[in-house]
């Protein structure tokens, strides 16, 4: 959460910082700000609530010259409302600071500083750090950068929690102090200076080489002293193709990414003749006794689909846990257990920590990531990239489809290696895999009908939306509900169809819409009974099924396929389009929904 950019050098800094922030806007976009300092130039701070476009407007005409430093921030609020006061940088008398993460002991530190007479101007946890630094500088005056660094280190030592911090001070106008603990921060170099950022895409076109700062890194960049990246970590080139893409004629990134699904989900390279050949280390899947999957949000839903596929195809027991729960659950492990972390971004704090815990518990680990240079990608014993391409919309679409596909391939490879499937069953699965790509393409054809239905549904002014399915269609129902609430801001809930009668059906009446997934090839009759039960209580039914349903208030009569997995991918696209159309009809910001961020790097 939150995006940070920093620069020390001779380039014009306002444009550079804004450019970097725009690339990081997916990390939070409720307020933004920047601070500038230079040789002979005073500390200047600009900040505002709203998106980066508002900051851009605020700094119109502001330009820097000569050597100096700049730090910038785009915020996703944790402590305090998204106001101008709570926007970063936070400033005290001569210093300014940007922070990503959460300072857990801020209340205690703040109370101690207030007793000493410090007056705070925000409700944030972050502001305490700049006060603490200046307070310590008062008691331990620093006459040079080395001494100031020691004071900064003492400041950081007081903090508990997660942080990526950049601090500049008018007393040391060509220095940036930095600290990193469990929040991402990279340090990079280019011809005309040194750069910091939360992610490398902020630095494309400026920096050439970077290191991911290690946990507990604290230091200072000083223009007087050349930097040696090799001393700080593994030096990597900045991937020059990782910047945000354009909408390419689509109205939103979400729509573009939904349409990209059939293209990006190519199986090429992972099918060798009639066998699956994932790029895993030799013997990696041998001796696996059970699997634990951990993830958040949409990636968690993909993990649930993976459980059904792996258990039914490879006959290996799988448990799926929300990463935020796994990390504090004191999990019991088993000999031969494989731990799989799933994450589009590879940066979700909860999933990262779950993976760390699994490693510490001695489990064999595998990351399923969409982002090659992410923190998670390099952490596990093995990596499977989902190859969905950069996903820019906050609501995840193509990443989910690619995660399910890779989990399906993993289930098949496991099944192959354990001889769990007859050759003809494997053949049927291969055909279903190929058919699923086509089914997604065909799912796109429903967009205009989905729009018409969405308009009719919105006219009803409903109080709630249920999504129901069985087997792999249960996590698909969860995902359909999550998409709708994320971007259309309505109360939507996913259920396993048969659970309805154990409680939720109490809500059924004519102001409830139950979107029901009734594939032809998985428990059709059972699902139909659950639809009848809801209809008997006046709930409106939105059915997705290839079979015509008299009971449905609304129906998309989906295409018929000869396996339930193509049906799954076909319905996935329709559910994504449903959320998209509902949000667009309500005139909402589809790509940047309120209160959310693309990459959730706090607990
Ligand atoms: O990058 P990750 O896959 O780890 O992200 C996990 C969730 O934050 C993410 O899937 C979130 O639920 C999406 N906004 C869903 O559309």
Other C-beta atoms within 10 Å of 225: how many? 10
pLDDT at 402: 96
Ligand 1 close to Cβ of residue 296 (< 6 A): yes
The string of pLDDT tens digits covering residues 235-286 is: 999 877 666 667 888 999 999 999 999 987 777 678 888 789 999 999 999 9
Q: Which residues of 533-564 are buried (b: 16+ CB within 10 A; e: fewer)?
A: bbbeeebbbbbbbbeebeebbbbbebeebebb
pLDDT at 141: 85
Q: Please, is 95 exposed, middle or buried when counting C-beta atoms within 10 Å of its C-beta (0-12, 13-18, 19+)? A: buried
Q: Which fold would CATH assign to domain 440-603? A: Rossmann fold (3.40.50)
Ligand 1 close to Cβ of residue 534 (< 6 A): no
Ligand 1 close to Cβ of residue 575 (< 6 A): no
pLDDT at 124: 95
- Decide if 253 contacts 586 (C-beta within 8 A): no
Q: Quick check: is 2 catalytic?
A: yes
Ligand 1 close to Cβ of residue 429 (< 6 A): no
* Share of the chain residues as helix, strand and coil, in percent rounded to the nearest 5: 40, 25, 40
The full DSSP string for 321-361 is: EEHHHHTTS-----TTEEEEEEESSS--HHHHHHHHHHHHT
Catalytic option among 22, 110, 364, 598: 598
- φ, ψ dihedrals at 76, nearest 5°: -120, 110
Q: Domain ranges in the chain?
A: 3-237, 245-421, 440-603
Same fold yes or no, 245-421 and 440-603: yes
- Decide if 120 contacts 102 (C-beta within 8 A): no
This prediction has a pTM of 0.86
Ligand 1 close to Cβ of residue 393 (< 6 A): no
Q: Which fold would CATH assign to domain 245-421? A: Rossmann fold (3.40.50)
Q: Quick check: is 369 catalytic?
A: no
Domain 3-237, second-level architecture:
4-Layer Sandwich (3.60)
pLDDT at 228: 87
pLDDT at 269: 75
pLDDT at 174: 93
Cis before 92 (ω within 30): no
Mutational test site, ligand 1, from 1, 76, 303, 344, max ligand atoms within 8 Å of CB: 344
Q: How far apart, in whole angstroms, are the C-alpha atoms of residue 376 and residue 342?
A: 9
SS (H, E, C) 447-502: HHHHHHHHHHHHHCCCCEEEEEECCCHHHHHHHHHHHHHHHHCCCEEEEEHHHHHH
Residue spans of the chain under pLDDT 70: 1, 241-245, 268
Mutational test site, ligand 1, from 199, 320, 348, 485, max ligand atoms within 8 Å of CB: 348
pLDDT at 39: 85
Write down the mean pLDDT value for the chain.
Answer: 93
């Amino acid at each position: 959460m939150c995006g940070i950019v920093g620069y020390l050098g001779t380039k014009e800094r306002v444009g550079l910082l804004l450019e970097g922030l725009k690339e990081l806007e997916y990390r939070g976009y409720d307020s933004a700000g920047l601070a500038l300092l230079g040789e002979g130039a005073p500390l200047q701070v600009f900040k505002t609530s709203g998106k980066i476009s508002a900051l851009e407007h605020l700094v119109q005409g502001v330009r820097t010259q000569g050597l100096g430093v700049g730090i910038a921030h785009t915020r996703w609020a944790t402590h305090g409302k998204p106001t101008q006061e709570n926007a970063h940088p936070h400033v005290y008398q001569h210093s300014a600071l940007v922070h990503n993460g959460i300072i857990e002991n801020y209340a205690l530190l703040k109370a101690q500083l207030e007793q000493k007479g410090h007056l705070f101007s925000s409700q944030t946890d972050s502001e305490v750090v700049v006060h603490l630094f200046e307070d310590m500088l008062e008691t331990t005056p620093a006459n040079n950068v080395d001494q100031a660094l020691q004071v900064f280190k003492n400041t950081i030592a007081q903090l508990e929690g997660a942080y990526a911090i950049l601090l500049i001070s008018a007393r040391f106008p060509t220095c940036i102090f930095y600290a990193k603990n469990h929040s991402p921060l990279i340090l990079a170099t280019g011809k005309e200076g040194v750069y910091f950022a939360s992610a490398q895409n902020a630095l494309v076109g400026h920096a050439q080489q970077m290191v991911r700062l290690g946990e507990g890194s604290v230091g200072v960049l000083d223009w007087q002293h050349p930097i040696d990246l090799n001393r700080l970590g593994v030096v990597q080139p900045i991937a020059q193709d990782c910047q945000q893409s354009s909408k390419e004629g689509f109205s939103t990134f979400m729509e573009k990414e939904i349409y990209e699904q059939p293209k990006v989900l190519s199986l090429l390279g992972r099918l060798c003749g009639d066998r699956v050949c994932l790029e895993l280390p030799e013997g990696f899947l041998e001796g696996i006794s059970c699997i634990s999957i951990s993830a958040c949000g949409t990636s968690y839903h993909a993990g649930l689909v993976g459980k059904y596929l792996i258990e039914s195809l490879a006959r290996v027991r799988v448990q799926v846990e929300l990463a935020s729960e796994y990390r504090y659950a004191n999990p019991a492990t088993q000999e031969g257990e494989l731990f799989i972390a799933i994450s589009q971004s590879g940066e979700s704090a909860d999933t990262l920590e779950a993976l760390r815990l699994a490693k510490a518990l001695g489990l064999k680990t595998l990351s399923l990531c969409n982002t090659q240079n992410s923190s998670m990608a390099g952490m596990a014993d093995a990596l499977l990239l989902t190859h969905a391409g950069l996903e820019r919309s906050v609501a995840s679409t193509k990443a989910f489809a690619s995660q399910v596909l890779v989990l399906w391939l993993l289930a098949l490879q496991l099944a192959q290696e354990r001889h769990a499937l007859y050759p003809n069953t494997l053949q049927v699965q291969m055909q279903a895999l190929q058919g699923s790509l086509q089914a997604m393409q065909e799912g796109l054809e429903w967009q205009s009908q989905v729009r018409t239905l969405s308009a009719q549904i919105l006219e009803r002014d409903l109080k709630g939306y249920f999504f129901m399915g069985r087997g792999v269609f249960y996590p698909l129902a969860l995902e359909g509900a999550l998409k709708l609430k994320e971007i259309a801001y309505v109360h939507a809930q996913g259920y396993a169809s048969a659970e309805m009668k154990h409680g939720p059906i109490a809500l059924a009446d004519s102001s409830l819409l139950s979107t029901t997934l009734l594939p032809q090839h998985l428990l059709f009759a059972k699902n139909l009974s659950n639809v009848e039960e809801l209809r008997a209580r006046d709930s409106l039914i939105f059915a997705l099924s290839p079979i015509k349903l008299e009971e449905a208030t609304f129906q998309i009569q989906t295409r018929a396929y000869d396996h339930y997995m193509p049906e799954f991918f076909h319905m996935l696209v329709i559910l994504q389009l449903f959320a998209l159309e509902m949000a667009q009809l309500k005139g909402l910001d589809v790509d940047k929904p309120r209160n959310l961020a693309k990459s959730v790097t706090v607990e």
